[in-house]
Structure formats: structure tokens, C-alpha cells
């Protein structure tokens, strides 16, 4: 899994550098700000504001040492400048659009393609909050094996196979997505809190070995058989 994660990061850099410039430090992102695409430049400006200085070197010194960063409410579209902040352990981005937004026609409706590749560099993350974003591809999260809490509620996710490698997870929120297969959750035996409300599941069997669960929610699904939960004796909260 570690090799796969490293390979994905290499491919992510390649994909970025083929189309746009990629820099390993925030100082470089900042110094090249004028040459960046509009939304990438805007992200740099938001980070400068967070640092409380317009001096690139000073900002880098402050930002590179951050362990927590909350960018909720800034409506950030491009996360590449954040990829250099590799000391982050907590990152929150609630209700924004992420990535290089590419509008395509899909079944007569416009849909934004969301790019989480920059987050794959933040391998020290233990807490990641990305609710209410237009996310449909979570493959870049597979390398974040230190995660203990992950919030992906209210998105457009249908494939959660990348989560199978996140075996340190204690808290996972997946409500309000398009998920119909939760088998990838079976290896996550350290989970204590799991929310699966209003997705598209009909079978709870993949949860039968998650015996550390204390909180489980799966309301809004067509579940008729609760037998797979019979061994989850640590449950103190069950909502369905």
C-alpha cells in the first residue's frame, strides 16, 4: 500500500507539471504567484493572508510549521499551493469547490471534476474534513494512512475502494453520497464512529467485523437485515 501511495504521488506531480508549474515549497509558489493560473494565485493570496504577511520568505516560515489549517468558507478551487505544507496534521475545507474545475456535459447536466491530488502530499494528516464539496474521486486519499478522522459527507462519491488502506481511521463520515458498496470498509477495524446515512446501501454484512464501533448511523437506506450487527457489542449509539 505504501508503494502504491508513493507511486500515486509521483504520478500526481507528473500530471500537475505537464499542464502547470509545480513547486515543492510555498516560497516558490509565492515568488511565482504572478505566473500562476488565476485560482492557484488566489490560493497563494489566501495563504499569505493566513500568514499575516506578504513577504514570501516570512510567510513560508510561518506556514511550513503549521500543524492545523482551516480554509472553510474561502471557496478555494485550486489546492496545489497547499501541497507544500507537509507538516499539517489537521486540514479543514468545508463547503468549497476543490481542484481545477473542469465543466463537462454529463447526461445533459454540468458537473465539476474535482481534483484532490494535492492532498496526497499531506501524509502527516490525522484529521481531514471535506464535507459539502463537489468531490467524486477520492483515489488521492489512499496515501493518507495516518488519518484517524475523515469527513466526506455531502459529496458525489460512489467508489470508496481507496479508503481500504486507511486502517488507522477511528471516525468516518460518508453520509449523503452515491455509495452502494461498502465492502472496502471491512479492513477498517479500528473504526469507532461510522456514519452512512442516505447513501445507497442495502447490505450491512461488510460491517460485521468492525467490533470497535460505538456509534453507527445508516438512516435513509433500504436495510432490512440487522443480523450482521449482532457481534458489534460495543455499540452505544445506533441510528437507522
Pair 160, 187: CB distance under 8 Å: no
Which own/partner pairs from 150-158 qualify as long-range (CB within 8 Å, at least 24 positions apart)?
152/177, 153/177, 153/195, 155/130, 155/131, 156/111
Instruction: Return d(Cα 44, Cα 94) in angstroms, integer.
Output: 18
pLDDT of residue 3: 52
Stretch 160-187: mean pLDDT? 98
Write down the pLDDT at residue 97: 52
Cell numbers at residue 105, please? 456535459
Quick one: average pLDDT of 147-172?
Answer: 98
Cell of 215: 456509534
- Residue 121 in this model has a pLDDT that exceeds 80: yes
Strands (E), the chain: 68-70, 90-92, 102-106, 109-113, 127-129, 149-151, 171-173, 193-195, 215-217, 237-239
For residue 229, what is its C-alpha cell? Answer: 450487527
Delineate the domains of the chain, giving CATH numbers in brackets: 2-169 (3.80.10.10), 170-240 (3.80.10.10)
At CB < 8 A and 24+ separation, what contacts does 205-209 make? Answer: 206/182, 207/182, 207/232, 208/232
Residue 153: count other Cβ atoms within 10 Å of its Cβ.
23
Which tops the pLDDT comparison, 176 or 96? 176
Has residue 105 got a pLDDT over 50?
no
> Per mean pLDDT, which range of 91-100, 134-143, 154-163 is the poorest?
91-100
Q: What is the largest CA-CA distance in the chain?
A: 60
Radius of gyration of the chain measured on its C-alpha atoms: 19
Query: For the purposes of burial, counting CB atoms within 10 Å of the CB of 224, is it exposed (0-12), middle (13-18) or buried (19 or more)?
Result: exposed
* pLDDT class of 95 with cuts at 50, 70, 90: confident
At 108 the pLDDT is 31
- More reliable by pLDDT, 72 or 14: 72
Residue 240 has pLDDT above 90, yes or no: yes
Tens digit of each residue's pLDDT (9 = 90 or more) over 47-68: 999 999 999 999 999 999 999 9
Least confident residue range of 67-71, 99-103, 124-128, 138-142: 99-103
Phi-psi region of 108 (alpha: psi -120 to 50; beta: other; left: phi over 0): left
User: With bands split at pLDDT 50, 70 and 90, how would you rate the model's confidence at 184?
Assistant: very high
Share of the chain above pLDDT 90, in %: 78
Amino acid at each position: 500500500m505504501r508503494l502504491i501511495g508513493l507511486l500515486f504521488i509521483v504520478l500526481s506531480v507528473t500530471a500537475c507539471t505537464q499542464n502547470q508549474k509545480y513547486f515543492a515549497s510555498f516560497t516558490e509558489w509565492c515568488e511565482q504567484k504572478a505566473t500562476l493560473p488565476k485560482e492557484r494565485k488566489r490560493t497563494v493570496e489566501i495563504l499569505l493572508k493566513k500568514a499575516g504577511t506578504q513577504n514570501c520568505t516570512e510567510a513560508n516560515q510561518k506556514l511550513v510549521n503549521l500543524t492545523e489549517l482551516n480554509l472553510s468558507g474561502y471557496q478555494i478551487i485550486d489546492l496545489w499551493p497547499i501541497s507544500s505544507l507537509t507538516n499539517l496534521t489537521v486540514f479543514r475545507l468545508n463547503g468549497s469547490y476543490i481542484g481545477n474545475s473542469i465543466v463537462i456535459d454529463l447526461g445533459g447536466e454540468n458537473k465539476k471534476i474535482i481534483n484532490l491530488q494535492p492532498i496526497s502530499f499531506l501524509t502527516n494528516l490525522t484529521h481531514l474534513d471535506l464535507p459539502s464539496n463537489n468531490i467524486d474521486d477520492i483515489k488521492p486519499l489512499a496515501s493518507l494512512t495516518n488519518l484517524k478522522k475523515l469527513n466526506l459527507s455531502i459529496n458525489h462519491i460512489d467508489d470508496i475502494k481507496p479508503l481500504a488502506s486507511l486502517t488507522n481511521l477511528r471516525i468516518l463520515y460518508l453520509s449523503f453520497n452515491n455509495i452502494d458498496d461498502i465492502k472496502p470498509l471491512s479492513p477498517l477495524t479500528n473504526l469507532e464512529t461510522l456514519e452512512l446515512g442516505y447513501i445507497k446501501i442495502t447490505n450491512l454484512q461488510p460491517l460485521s467485523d468492525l467490533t470497535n464501533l460505538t456509534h453507527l448511523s445508516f438512516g435513509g437506506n433500504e436495510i432490512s437485515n440487522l443480523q450482521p450487527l449482532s457481534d458489534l457489542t460495543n455499540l452505544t449509539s445506533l441510528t437507522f
